[in-house]
Every structure is written in C-alpha cells, then in structure tokens.
Chain A
C-alpha cells in the first residue's frame, strides 16, 4: 500500500529531522532509498531542485516524491506527514514555554545554546557567501558572483533610512533573481 508507506516514511523524516534540512538529508536519503522511491542520482538532483524552489527543503522533497509515486494524493499525504510532527511538537512547546523560559536551569541552558546558534548561523552565512564567490573553496574566483555579491550587499546593507534597511529580505530575493539572470546572460 503506497499511501501508507509514503505516510509512515515521511512521518519518520518529520519526526527525526533535527537541525534543519541539511542535517536531515542523510535521514531523508536513508528512508527514500530503503523504500526504493528514488535512486541516489535522482535524489541529489531533487535536493538541488528543492534548493532552487521556494519553501522548506523537506516539504519540497516530500511533495515531489509523493507526487511522483502516487499522484496528487500521494503528494498531499507525504507533505502532511512530514509537517505533522513539527506542528504537534511546537503546539505543545508553545503552550508550556512561558512556564519553562523563566526557570533558572532553562535560562542557564539557553545562555549556552543561544550564542552557539548565533555562531552556527553566522558561520553558515559566511561560508555560503565565500562558497558562491569561489565556486568551491579551492577553485578560482567567479567574477560574476563577485559582481552580484557586491551589488546585493551594497543594496541591502547600504541603503538605509532612519537606521533601518529599506530593502526588505523578500525584495532582496526578487532583485537577486533578476540580477542573476542579467549578469549571467552577458
């Protein structure tokens, strides 16, 4: 029964995928290959597609695999399954969070985890910028990527009014797509 398999398979992915999509990819790979839904090459391709389309990567993969295995119902079931654990867990956490957040042990825990998360995010962002410019860490500089980076960073960090950025993150994404098309055609 493919529907049940899709549901259970993606429920597993949704339940055990801690720390964002990239950390979850090994788990997704494991589930997808063990059910034989995609081969390794197709999965790699789909991860690239998920990265270049909007939305959470896990949701994208679930929709794609569900649809390709069992049509729109399969797509819906897989997507529903991958989201369900996060939804339920966050509801519970939110309901009890206000009680927990002022506990001194929780506060001590957060004072370690918070700077760690900030470090992870800053490092991830910096590495992504560097990776794009060097098209890898050892190869030559990609001039077009440098041009795009300078334009985007200038627009985003440079244009300010009353100390606030005028270009919103969504506007930046839209601008970046246009600049990407223009610069790479030339």
Chain B
C-alpha cells in the first residue's frame, strides 16, 4: 500500500510540473524514476520513450502506466496514471469553471514566458542525455544526424510531417540495412 501511495504522489508531482507536452516530461521522469528512485533503468527509459512515441495517447500517460506496472503491477499502473493526470484535471477544471481570461492575467503570462524557455532547455537536455548513452555505431549516428536536420527543417518550414512517419521511415531503413547485412554475412559463410 505504501508503494502504491508513493507511486501516486510521485506521479502527481510529475504531472504538476510538466508543461508543454511529453518531451519535457521525459527529462523529469528520467530524473526522478531513474536517477533518484531507481525504479527503472536508463535502458528501460529509452525503450519506453520509443514505445510511448509509437503508441497512441499522451506520452506522460504512457510513461506513468509503464513505470507503475513495472513497480507494482496493475494497481501500480492505475495509481501512477491516476496520479499523473489529477493535477491537470484539477487545474483545468478550475480554469473552465472560473477563469475565462486565464492567459490575459499578466503575471501568469509572464511566468509562462520563463517556463517556455525552461521547457526548451529540459527537452534539449533529455535529448543530450539519450545521445550520450547511445551506442556510437556509424549507422546509428547517420540516422541521428539525418533525423535532427530533417526535424529542424520541418519545424522551421512548418511542414505538416508528423514525427511518427519519420520514425517509421527510420525503422524501415534500419530493417532493410539489417536484412542486407545479414544476407551478406550469410554469403560469406
């Protein structure tokens, strides 16, 4: 019961401090669940990032369900998922009921100007950490550089090209390379 409560409270805290979508949350979950509490390994965190990106639903919910399940089975998954959405539910409920002009409140708008920058830094940091721990094989580095450049172009030019299609292409390319290489290896034998 204590573990369940801890999962709930930890993910409520994560939910309360996650602004601007899932990538920023990766940095926070990594910090708490991998470095501080050691609930999951860095490797598992990488895998769940990929799974979260390639399955539907908010990345935050995907991660919470995964960590909760790893730690305490179904009940843990329920507690963590419930925890991660409860802060946003309460905050948005209050806004929907009472604040029609939320963004026109000066100090909130100002605070958010700061938060937006922190979110950018956190996302950058999450990517940097993953890059440091990635195996530096030639093929992986090439995919990494191409994806980074392509994503920057997409963002700058505001193309309507979803990141999921990019991942699908990367997956397909690596599969083809793998099949060709294993066939070559087979011929040598």
B26 shortest CB reach to chain A, Å: 7
Q: List chain A residues, Cβ under 8 A from B107.
A: 181
Is B95's beta carbon under 8 Å from chain A?
yes
What are 7 A-B residue pairs whose CB atoms fall within 8 Å in the complex?
Answer: A56-B25, A83-B61, A113-B174, A114-B50, A116-B171, A120-B151, A125-B123
Is A159's beta carbon under 8 Å from chain B?
no
Q: By the criterion CB–CB under 8 Å, are B53 and A170 in contact?
A: no
- Interface membership of chain B positions 112-129, coded 1 if the CB is closer than 8 angstroms to chain A and 0 otherwise: 111111111111111110
Q: By the criterion CB–CB under 8 Å, are B15 and A63 in contact?
A: no
Contact of A156 among B125, B134, B167 (CB under 8 A): B125
Q: By the criterion CB–CB under 8 Å, are A132 and B92 in contact?
A: no
Q: List chain B residues, Cβ under 8 A from A15.
A: 56-57
Q: By the criterion CB–CB under 8 Å, are B51 and A180 in contact?
A: no
Contact of A118 among B17, B58, B77, B131 (CB under 8 A): B131
Q: By the criterion CB–CB under 8 Å, are B23 and A125 in contact?
A: yes
Contact of A111 among B130, B137, B169 (CB under 8 A): B137
Task: Identify the closest chain A residue to B16 (Cβ).
Answer: A54
Q: Which positions in B face A, CB cutoff 8 Å?
A: 13, 15-28, 31, 35, 46-47, 49-62, 65-66, 69-70, 74, 77, 81, 84-85, 87-89, 91-93, 95-97, 102-103, 107-128, 130-131, 134, 137, 139-141, 143-152, 155-156, 160, 162-164, 166-167, 169-175, 177-178
Q: By the criterion CB–CB under 8 Å, are B91 and A118 in contact?
A: no
Grouping DSSP codes into helix (H, G, I), strand (E, B) and loop, the B interface class, with mixed when no group exceeds half, is: helix
Q: By the criterion CB–CB under 8 Å, are A112 and B173 in contact?
A: yes
Is A139's beta carbon under 8 Å from chain B?
no
Contact of B53 among A56, A117, A126, A152 (CB under 8 A): A117
Q: List chain A residues, Cβ under 8 A from B172.
A: 112
Stretch at the interface among A1-9, A29-37, A89-97: A89-97
Contact of A85 among B47, B56, B66 (CB under 8 A): B56
Distance A107 CA – B122 CA, assembled complex (angstroms): 28
Q: By the criterion CB–CB under 8 Å, are A64 and B96 in contact?
A: yes
A59 shortest CB reach to chain B, Å: 5
Contact of A128 among B84, B96, B123, B156 (CB under 8 A): B123
- Interface membership of chain A positions 51-84, coded 1 if the CB is closer than 8 angstroms to chain B and 0 otherwise: 1111111111001100110001001100100110
A30 shortest CB reach to chain B, Å: 13
Q: List chain B residues, Cβ under 8 A from A54.
A: 15-19, 87-88, 91
Grouping DSSP codes into helix (H, G, I), strand (E, B) and loop, the A interface class, with mixed when no group exceeds half, is: helix
Q: List chain B residues, Cβ under 8 A from A56.
A: 18, 21-22, 25, 58-61, 84-85, 88
Q: By the criterion CB–CB under 8 Å, are B92 and A18 in contact?
A: no
Residue of A16, A17, A51 ringed by the most chain B CB atoms within 10 A: A51
Within 8 A of B (CB), among A104-132: 105, 108-129, 131-132
Q: By the criterion CB–CB under 8 Å, are B156 and A137 in contact?
A: yes
Q: List chain B residues, Cβ under 8 A from A175.
A: 118
Distance A52 CA – B18 CA, assembled complex (angstroms): 10
Contact of B95 among A64, A164, A169, A174 (CB under 8 A): A64
Q: By the criterion CB–CB under 8 Å, are A49 and B95 in contact?
A: yes
Given contacts A63-B93, A86-B61, A112-B174, contact A180 B148 (CB under 8 A): no
Q: By the criterion CB–CB under 8 Å, are B171 and A109 in contact?
A: yes
Q: List chain A residues, Cβ under 8 A from B84.
A: 55-56
Contact of B114 among A111, A113, A181 (CB under 8 A): A181
Given contacts A118-B144, A132-B116, A170-B28, contact A67 B97 (CB under 8 A): yes
Q: By the criterion CB–CB under 8 Å, are A125 and B124 in contact?
A: yes
A6 shortest CB reach to chain B, Å: 13
